[in-house]
Amino acid sequence: MDILEHALQLTRSMLDAARAQEWSRLIELEVEREPLLVRRHASDPATLAQLGEILAYDRELQAIVGGARDFAAEQWQRETGRARAIAAYAKP
CA atoms within 13 A on the CB side of 18: 22
Q: Is pLDDT at 92 greater than 70 in this prediction?
A: no
Distance (Å, rounded) from C-alpha 71 to C-alpha 77? 10
Residue 36 has pLDDT above 90, yes or no: yes
Q: What is the mean pLDDT of the chain?
A: 90
Better-predicted residue by pLDDT, 41 or 91: 41
| Poorest-pLDDT segment among 27-36, 53-62, 83-92 | 83-92
Mean of pLDDT values over 20-35: 97
Sign for the pseudo-dihedral over CA of 38, 42, 47, 49? positive
Q: State residue 75's pLDDT score.
A: 82
Task: State the pLDDT at residue 54.
Answer: 96
